[in-house]
Amino acid sequence: MTKNLLGALAVTTVLSPVAALAQTEVQFWHAFTGRLGELVTAQVEEFNASQSDYVVVESHKGNYSETLNAGIAAFRASEQPHILMVFEVGTATMMSAAGAVRPVYEVMAESGASFDPDAYIGSVKGYYTTTDGDMLSLPFNSSTPVLWVNRDAMTAAGVDPDTDLSTWENVGVVLDQLKAGGEECPLVTAWQSWIHLENFSAYHDVPFASQDNGFAGLDTELMLNGPAQVAHLTAMGDWAKDGKFIYTGRRNEGGANFRAGECALFTESSAGYAGISSEAEFEFDVRPLPYWEAVTSEPQNTIIGGASLWVMEGHEADEYKGVGEFLSFLSSSDVQAAWHQNTGYLPITAEAGDATRAAGFYDDNPGTDIAVIQMTAKEPTANSKGLRLGSFDQIRGIIDEELEAVWSGDKTAQEAMDSAKERGDALLRRFESANQ
Amino acid sequence: MEKRVTFRGWLLPLLLIAPQVVISAVFFFYPAAQAIWQSLFIPDPFGLSSQFVGLGNFEFLLSDKFYRASFVTTAIFSTLVTLCSMIPALFLAVIADRLIKGSGVYRTLLIWPYAVAPAVAGVLWLFMFNTRVGVVSWYLSQLGYDWNHVLNGTEAMGLVVVASAWGRISYNFLFFFAALQSVPKSVIEAAAIDGAHFWRRFFTIVLPLLSPTAFFLLVVNVVYAFFETFGVIHTITGGGPQQATTILVYKVFSDGFVGQDLGSSSAQSVILLIVVGLLTVIQFKYVEKRVHY
């Protein structure tokens, strides 16, 4: 039934621009619903209204995984869209599909649309460029983890809400105080692997995987069982055992607890801003993600999560011209600044960030620039450019399982990460042999 | 004397079985052959290239201890789902059968859950047991029990079993109820006159007469637990925590459609095909012998 309905919807969206026959159609498949879906529709409508040569037709294809699968299935049936939204985890899969995707830098060069790769923020762009600096896909929505603080909960537990929370050492002390002050949920997190392993590694400038986190080759192995990661997870495991860190699930389930005012501290994406600011009935703060002073005196940059737009092979030249125009429109400063302010996602160009600052947005909404600063304060290193691992969706699943074993006390952090490495490496070898 | 109808000539019988043969060929033999063929390769997701690995996919799977553990998980899960859906169904059918007034209402109400799709049933149960807003988990916490199926594998298994069995009780109830109606009244009355009380009559007369139905339901429910509970698991646990609820068919889905590893996914389908084939043979060879038609 749902399928039929979706099918019918797809048909109507495809048929609707029949009136404008002379225009070249560009298909754009994405994974956004709700408020984000509306914002995407608005962007597409604005582009369509701004010129008369091309019509971009957007369709929603389910969540991130489903959208990627829809794109792959469509490619196998030679019915692929021009533009496919793929989440950061699928980057290696897309990169290895040389005959299926057309790199963005090529599309831009051929279409003649204005395109300056240097305009993009390094740590955003880095995730989606080759080691030679060629941009393969256009960053679309990017966020990075930060620490959200419920100031009221801190006060209620007798902790000064302005306490310095920049290091995990300090956070540990505050968690003790919160617990002693009667707080039942001192710390909660979303996206545990992304925040407490992937970003943790980049932030402390330690490798997550060999071969520059997979950027330098397919023969990469996980290195997430290093001393820094294990020390962090051991501390988290101890906090979980003492009821100072509450585990709520693999995705962003903890967001509901935090927004309802049940938890004091929350590590979550900067894009949690839209939800928290609209629902929270308490004073909240955004702080930079904490780091361990014992590991580094000064943290590196964090890495991004989110999705980018990939251009698929197998279409006509004039259609690619339209794709180029649309991508160039999306990267324009005004569109990016509006997107950044509406969603809490990072601006993908430095210019859009400057425009947002100039408009006084950061002064009116304190803390919304922390994510930008955290990402751009330092030039990314080989450990903090991003991750490019095959079968990464599955590997994250393995990491989630192993982390759950740590939180429940079934395994020590070292055992769990050794096992995650072993199991993850097996998948990486399979991916390597599938893409030789 | 057995009665046999014989056809003259070949054309008519062939024509009569043709639709079934065509359907089996299109929806079973062809895909099964494809799965066997694909299980010998590691293809890339886009179908641009693929590498022949022989039995490499099977070797990879069988050396994975989580995959081997998934057989045990599947056995536990399908046994529990079958028991939890058949025993309450039989009990309800017996009770409903004894009702004189209003049995129609009970019957209708008991059949309703069957109309709920597995994924929706999963979401319903997830809401009730949600660790934060769930009604049941709230009552449990009042009783001093800390429900957390997110971290506790046993609780997660219990939850997916209940959610999978729930809608199935209706289906089984329908069959048991119909079978109970067809038990000859005269036999039961004769036993009653001989002084057999209700439960004695039930175990010595009714249950043996129900055995063909029970056997049919056993086969159907095991197949259900193997293949159709996927939606429930997907919505409630996603196979976690620590793969405690990853049954074989769920792994086929997650490796194939989430992980894009079509070679491993095909190899798993082939293994599943063999497992289910063996199970059916066992059921017909050993269990059916104890069934009285």
> Does residue A327 lie within any of the structural domains?
yes
**Residue A37 parent element (H or E):** helix A34-50
Beta strand spans in A138-264 (E): 138-143, 145-150, 187-189, 245-246
Q: How confident is the model at residue A1 (pLDDT cuts 50, 70, 90)?
A: very low
Which chain B residues contact residue A430 at CB under 8 A?
A: 42, 60, 261, 263-264
Residues A117 and A102 in one domain: yes
Same domain? For A180 and A215 the reply is yes
Answer yes or no: do A294 and A315 share one domain: no
Domain region containing A30: 2-142+304-364
Contact B48 A408 (CB under 8 A): no
| Tens digit of each residue's pLDDT (9 = 90 or more) over A349-369 | 888 888 999 999 888 888 888
Is A384 inside a domain boundary?
no
Tally of CA atoms within 13 A in the half-sphere of B65 that contains its CB: 4
Same domain, A53 and A117: yes
- Whether A12 maps to a domain, the answer reads yes
Which two three-digit tokens encode residue A364? 């009116």
Q: Give the total number of structural domains in chain A.
A: 2
In this structure, the answer to whether residues A316 and A395 fall within a common structural domain is no
Do both A191 and A330 map to the same domain?
no
Same domain membership, residue A252 and residue A171? yes
Are A394 and B48 within 8 A, CB to CB?
A: no
Contact B51 A250 (CB under 8 A): no
Neighbours of A267 (CB within 10 A): 26
Which residue in A411, A388, A314, A359 sits closest to A96, CA to CA?
A: A388
Q: What is the pLDDT of residues A360-407, one digit of tens each?
A: 988 888 888 899 889 888 888 999 988 999 889 889 989 999 999 999
**Chain B positions in Cβ-Cβ contact with residue A405 (cut-off 8 Å):** 242
User: Which of A69, A72, A247 is nearest residue B151 as measured by Cβ atoms?
Assistant: A247
Inter-residue contact B208 to B292 (CB < 8 Å): yes
pLDDT (0 to 100) of residue B96: 87
Kind of pairing between the strands at B50-52 and B41-43: antiparallel
Helix axes A227-241, A413-434, angle to 10 degrees: 130
Residues A38 and A120 in one domain: yes
Q: Are residues A16 and A85 in the same domain?
A: yes
Q: How far apart are CA A195 and CA B110, in angstroms?
A: 47
Q: CATH number of the domain at A71, please.
A: 3.40.190.10
**Domain shared by A176 and A250, yes or no:** yes
User: How far B197 CA sits from the closest chain A CA (Å)?
Assistant: 50
Q: Is the pLDDT of residue A16 over 60?
A: no
Does any CB of chain B come closer than 8 Å to the CB of residue A310?
Answer: no
pLDDT tens track for A207-233: 999 999 998 889 999 999 999 999 999
CATH number of B61-290: 1.10.3720.10
Q: Establish if A372 belongs to a structural domain.
A: no
Tell me the nearest-neighbour CA distance from A38 into chain B, angstroms.
26
pLDDT tens digits for range A114-173: 788 888 887 788 888 887 888 999 999 999 999 999 999 999 999 999 999 999 999 999
CA–CA dist A59, B221 (Å, integer): 39
pLDDT digits (tens, 9 = 90+) for A260-272: 999 999 999 998 8
The predicted structure's pLDDT at residue A21 = 54
CB-based contact, A261 to chain B, within 8 Å: no
Segment A285-319, tens digit of pLDDT: 999 999 999 999 999 999 989 999 999 999 999 99
User: From the CA of B264, how many Å to the nearest CA of chain A?
Assistant: 10
Q: Measured between alpha carbons, how far is A186 from A188 in angstroms, rounded to an integer?
A: 7
> If phi over 0 gives left and psi between -120 and 50 gives alpha, with beta otherwise, what is residue A306?
left
What is the pLDDT averaged over residues A89-105? 90
The pLDDT value recorded for residue A13 is 46
Asked if residue A4 has pLDDT above 60, the reply is no
Q: Which of residues 415-434 of A touch B (CB under 8 A)?
A: 423, 426-427, 430, 433-434
Indicate yes or no: CB of A405 within 8 angstroms of CB of B51: no
B188 contacts B201 by C-beta, under 8 angstroms: yes
Asked whether the beta carbons of A17 and A317 are under 8 A apart, the reply is no
Pair B137, B229: CB distance under 8 Å:
no
In angstroms, what separates the C-alpha of B45 from chain A's closest C-alpha?
7
- Tell me the C-alpha distance between A104 and A89, whole Å: 18
Select from B64, B133, B261 the Cβ nearest to the Cβ of A391: B261
The reply to whether A131 and A217 lie within a common domain is no
Say if the Cβ atoms of A72 and B53 lie within 8 Å. no
Residue B120: the pLDDT is: 92
* A98 and A236 share one domain: no
Q: From the CA of B208, how many Å to the nearest CA of chain A?
A: 41
Do residues A260 and B161 make contact, with C-beta atoms less than 8 angstroms apart?
Answer: no
- Nearest residue in B to A394, CA atom: B259
The pLDDT tens digits along chain B (293 residues) read 556 777 788 899 899 999 999 999 999 999 999 999 999 998 888 888 888 999 999 999 999 888 999 999 999 999 999 999 999 999 999 988 887 788 788 888 888 999 998 889 999 999 999 887 889 999 999 999 988 888 899 999 999 999 999 999 999 999 999 999 888 989 989 999 998 888 899 998 999 999 989 999 998 999 899 988 988 999 998 887 888 999 999 999 988 888 888 899 999 999 999 998 898 888 888 877 777 66
Instruction: Please give the backbone phi and psi of residue A98, each rounded to the nearest 5 degrees, phi first.
Output: -55, -35
Q: What is the pLDDT of residue B3?
A: 64
Contacts of A410 in chain B (CB under 8 A): 242
**Alpha carbon separation from B256 to A376, B33, B260 (Å, rounded):** 37, 17, 5
How does pLDDT run across A159-174, given as a tens digit for each residue? 999 999 999 999 999 9
